[in-house]
Chains A and B, each alone.
Chain A
Amino acid sequence: MLYYLIVCRSLTHAQRTAAALERGGITARILRSPKSIAGEGCSHSVKVSQRSLPEALRILQRAELSPKRIFITAGDGSYQEVEL
Chain B
Amino acid sequence: MIYLDSAATTLQKPPAVARAAARAINHLASPGRGGHRPAMAASETAFACREEAAALFHVPSPEQVVFTFNTTHGLNIAIKTLVKPGSRVVISGYEHNAVTRPLHAIPKVELRVAEAPLFDQHAMTEAFRQALDQGADAAVCTHVSNVFGFVLPLEEIAALCRDRGVPLIVDAAQSAGCLPLDFQALGAAFVAMPGHKGLLGPQGTGLLLCSGEAEPLLEGGTGSQSILQTMPDFLPDQLEAGTHNITGIAGLLEGLRFVRRQGIRNIARQERRLIRRMGAGLACMAGLRVFLSEDPEAQAGVLSFLPEGRDCEELGELLGDRGFALRAGLHCAPLAHKTAGTLETGTVRASVSPFNQDWEVRQFLRAMEQLTGR
Which A residues lie at the B interface, using CB under 8 A?
9-13, 15-16, 19, 30-32, 39-44
Contacts and interface: CB of A to CB of B under 8 A. Distances in A.
B34 A41 contact: no
Contacts of B32: 11, 42, 44
Cβ-closest 10 pairs across A and B: A41-B226, A41-B227, A32-B35, A15-B47, A11-B32, A40-B225, A42-B226, A40-B227, A10-B237, A12-B63
Interface in B32-65: 32, 34-35, 40, 43-44, 47, 50-51, 61-63
Interface of B: 31-32, 34-35, 40, 43-44, 47, 50-51, 61-63, 223-228, 232, 234-237
A82 to B, nearest CB: 22
Contacts of A11: 31-32, 43, 223-224, 237
A65 to B, nearest CB: 10
A16 B35 contact: no
Nearest to A13: B63
B240 to A, nearest CB: 9
B50 A12 contact: yes
Contacts of B44: 15
13 contacts: A9-B234, A10-B63, A11-B31, A11-B224, A11-B237, A12-B62, A13-B63, A16-B61, A31-B35, A41-B227, A42-B32, A42-B225, A44-B32
Interface centre among A9, A10, A13, A40 (most CB of B within 10 A): A10
Contacts of A30: 40, 43
B218 to A, nearest CB: 17
Given A9-B224, A10-B232, A13-B234, 13 more contacts: A9-B234, A11-B31, A11-B32, A12-B63, A12-B235, A12-B237, A30-B43, A32-B34, A40-B225, A41-B225, A41-B226, A42-B32, A42-B226
Contacts, number: 57
Given A9-B234, A32-B35, A41 B228 contact: yes
A41 B226 CA distance: 4
B2 to A, nearest CB: 41
B35 A12 contact: no
A36 to B, nearest CB: 13
A41 B50 CA distance: 24
Nearest to A32: B35
A12 B44 CA distance: 9
A29 to B, nearest CB: 10
B220 to A, nearest CB: 13
Interface centre among B224, B234, B235, B237 (most CB of A within 10 A): B224
A44 B33 CA distance: 10
Contacts of A44: 32, 224
Given A10-B232, A12-B236, A41 B35 contact: no
Contacts of B237: 10-12
A16 B63 contact: yes
Contacts of A39: 227
Contacts of B234: 9-10, 13
Nearest to A11: B32
Contacts of B40: 30
Contact of B43 (A9, A13, A15, A41): A15
Contacts of B47: 12, 15, 19
A44 B61 CA distance: 18
A33 to B, nearest CB: 10
B62 A41 contact: no
A10 B61 CA distance: 14
Nearest to B60: A64
Contacts of A15: 43-44, 47, 62
Nearest to B226: A41
A42 B33 CA distance: 9
Contacts of B228: 40-41
A42 to B, nearest CB: 4
Interface centre among A12, A40, A44 (most CB of B within 10 A): A12
B224 A43 contact: yes
A77 B228 CA distance: 25
B59 to A, nearest CB: 13
B51 to A, nearest CB: 8
A46 B80 CA distance: 35
